[in-house]
Amino acid sequence: AQTVTQSQPEMSVQEAETVTLSCTYDTSESDYYLFWYKQPPSRQMILVIRQEAYKQQNATENRFSVNFQKAAKSFSLKISDSQLGDAAMYFCAYMNYGGATNKLIFGTGTLLAVQP
Amino acid sequence: SAVISQKPSRDICQRGTSLTIQCQVDSQVTMMFWYRQQPGQSLTLIATANQGSEATYESGFVIDKFPISRPNLTFSTLTVSNMSPEDSSIYLCSVDRYGQAVGEAFFGQGTRLTVV
């Protein structure tokens, strides 16, 4: 069974600084997706960034980028120029590619605080 | 993207009663998913609902406790039956939009359930 591990329950960053959130996963599959979701106090789960395992190039979305290390099964999220609105719970998630059901497997989350 | 409306947004219920949560999507989707997020915890998949077939439940979740309906391609309900305080959680509906961004999930805003 696939598992996702986030070893940092809480992180803090100064506004305008850079922070990296860690995520490791375990799978025997070769094709899959990895995601970072953000959950602010409003509870709305918002997709931050998505990575296909077959792509060697790391995904980037504006201030958000990932460091995808497939051999190491590592998928970290880097937030540059942190803003107060980035404060939220961040979940790393895994999904099998082409499975019978495209269910997400979530890590336990990292609570990010942004200090002004 | 997909717009997902989930109702109610929150409720306080007496133990032993049942609550039905509704999830409406603004377009037809193949799969709908129901997740539970216990206080301070990550998201756990309850079941996958496909239109025209019985829902597929994950280990630890049973149909008698969490009956699900999926009458058409835009709507689903989750019932939490015979509630106890341990059922106090956020319940989230999610969809996966094939053809749009395969492997990308969209979430409703969740239902915060408190059982007293």
Confidence of residue B103 (pLDDT cuts 50, 70, 90): low
Q: Spell out which residues of chain A touch residue B46, defining contact as CB-CB under 8 Å.
A: none
Q: Which tops the pLDDT comparison, B100 or A16?
A: A16
Whether the CB-CB separation of B9 and B75 falls below 8 Å is answered with no
Q: What percent of chain A lies above the pLDDT cut of 90?
A: 76
Q: Which residue of B has its CA nearest to A91?
A: B42
Model confidence pLDDT, tens digit, residues B46-93:
999 988 788 999 999 999 999 999 999 899 999 999 999 999 999 999
Mean pLDDT for the stretch of residues A58-74: 96
pLDDT of residue A31: 87
pLDDT of residue A61: 93
For the four alpha carbons of B59, A37, A65 and B2, in that order, the dihedral sign comes to positive
The mean pLDDT of chain A is 93
- Provide the token pair at A98: 């082409």
Q: Which tops the pLDDT comparison, B91 or B40?
A: B91
Rounded to an integer, what distance in angstroms lies between the CA atom of residue A32 and that of residue B115?
Answer: 37
Name every residue whose Cβ is closer than 8 Å to that of residue B107 and which is 6 or more positions away in sequence.
Answer: A44, A45, B4, B92, B93, B94
pLDDT(A102) > 90 = no
pLDDT of residue A100: 60
pLDDT(A94) > 80 = yes
pLDDT(B99) > 70 = no
Mean pLDDT for the stretch of residues A44-60: 91
Question: How far is residue A41 from each of residues A44, A48, B103, B114, measured CA to CA in Å?
Answer: 8, 16, 25, 17
Q: Which tops the pLDDT comparison, B31 or A22?
A: A22
Strands A10-14 and A110-115: parallel
Chain A touched by B96 (CB under 8 Å): yes
3-state secondary structure at position B79: strand
Burial of A88 (C-beta count, 10 Å sphere; 0-12/13-18/19+): buried
pLDDT of residue B52: 78
Instruction: Provide DSSP, A11-80.
Output: EEEETTS-EEE--EEE-S-SSEEEEEEEE-TT---EEEEEEETT--SPPEETTEEEEEETTTTEEEEEE-
Distance from CA of B17 to the nearest CA of A (A): 25
Closest Cβ opposite residue A102 in set B92, B103, B106 = B103
Q: Spell out which residues of chain A touch residue B31, defining contact as CB-CB under 8 Å.
A: 101-102
Q: Which residue has the tokens 């193949």?
A: B30
What distance lies between CA B105 and its chain's CA centroid? Answer: 13
**Phi–psi pair at B106, nearest 5 degrees:** -120, 145
Confidence of residue A64 (pLDDT cuts 50, 70, 90): very high
Confidence of residue B1 (pLDDT cuts 50, 70, 90): low
Contact A104 B48 (CB under 8 A): no
